[in-house]
Chains A and B, each alone.
Chain A
């Protein structure tokens, strides 16, 4: 079956521009996660969605970052007024609920801010 998909695979933008990253989770997975992978910071949690519950935004690094999940499926991560330190690989994952269930990761979006 289809795994987690993300688009675009690569995004190059200029400092100060807004970007949107998209994630399509595995069908039937109620939990969706965004992580960021960078050389200096390793793998960091950003945000978590579970069903219709309020998202856990505790990992978002600043108010320039936001995310939404429409209809309990597709999610969009938006970064406003991008900065060079936002350059990283943004990974999306989904799982069957929470707790002990393993998370399945997409291939990531590599964001480069010039």
Chain B
């Protein structure tokens, strides 16, 4: 069965420091992977996706993610965190007609 794991419930980082939000997946075949962000009382906003090609994918708001097939990971990264990046982040994998989401990781960026 297809699945996504986000091993950290919360990530804390100081403003200006690099951040990483971890995601691992389990799929049969080639994965279509996505990252979404959710701000309080808002829907999910698309950040980036990996379909094929370059393992480093760049997305919105300065975020990027690295696809690693051997480690079945798709970690979200940003070189310099902003307080405004504080939100709930979801990793997802496409499975037939739907997205399967991880449990989410709350990112807290402290001034």
Interface of A with B (CB < 8 Å)?
Answer: 4, 33, 35, 42-43, 45, 48, 50, 56, 59, 91, 93, 98-100, 102-108
Contacts and interface: CB of A to CB of B under 8 A. Distances in A.
Contacts of A43: 90, 99, 101, 104
28 contacts: A33-B98, A33-B99, A35-B99, A42-B101, A42-B102, A43-B90, A43-B99, A43-B101, A45-B98, A45-B100, A48-B97, A50-B97, A56-B96, A56-B98, A59-B98, A91-B43, A91-B44, A93-B44, A98-B97, A100-B49, A100-B51, A100-B94, A102-B34, A102-B46, A102-B49, A104-B46, A106-B43, A108-B43
Contacts of B103: 42
Interface of B: 32, 34, 36, 41-46, 49, 51, 90, 94, 96-104
A63 to B, nearest CB: 20
B101 to A, nearest CB: 4
Contacts of B36: 105
A12 B51 CA distance: 40
Contacts of A50: 97
A105 B90 CA distance: 13
A45 B99 contact: yes
Contacts of B104: 42-43
Contacts of B45: 105
B32 A99 contact: yes
Nearest to A31: B97
A76 to B, nearest CB: 18
Nearest to B51: A100
List 6 tightest A-B contacts by C-beta distance, closest first.
Answer: A45-B98, A105-B43, A43-B101, A48-B97, A105-B44, A100-B51
Contacts of B44: 91, 93, 105
Given A43-B104, A56-B96, A98-B97, 11 more contacts: A43-B99, A48-B98, A50-B97, A56-B98, A91-B44, A100-B94, A102-B46, A105-B43, A105-B45, A105-B46, A106-B43
Contacts of A91: 43-44
Contact of B32 (A42, A100, A104): A100
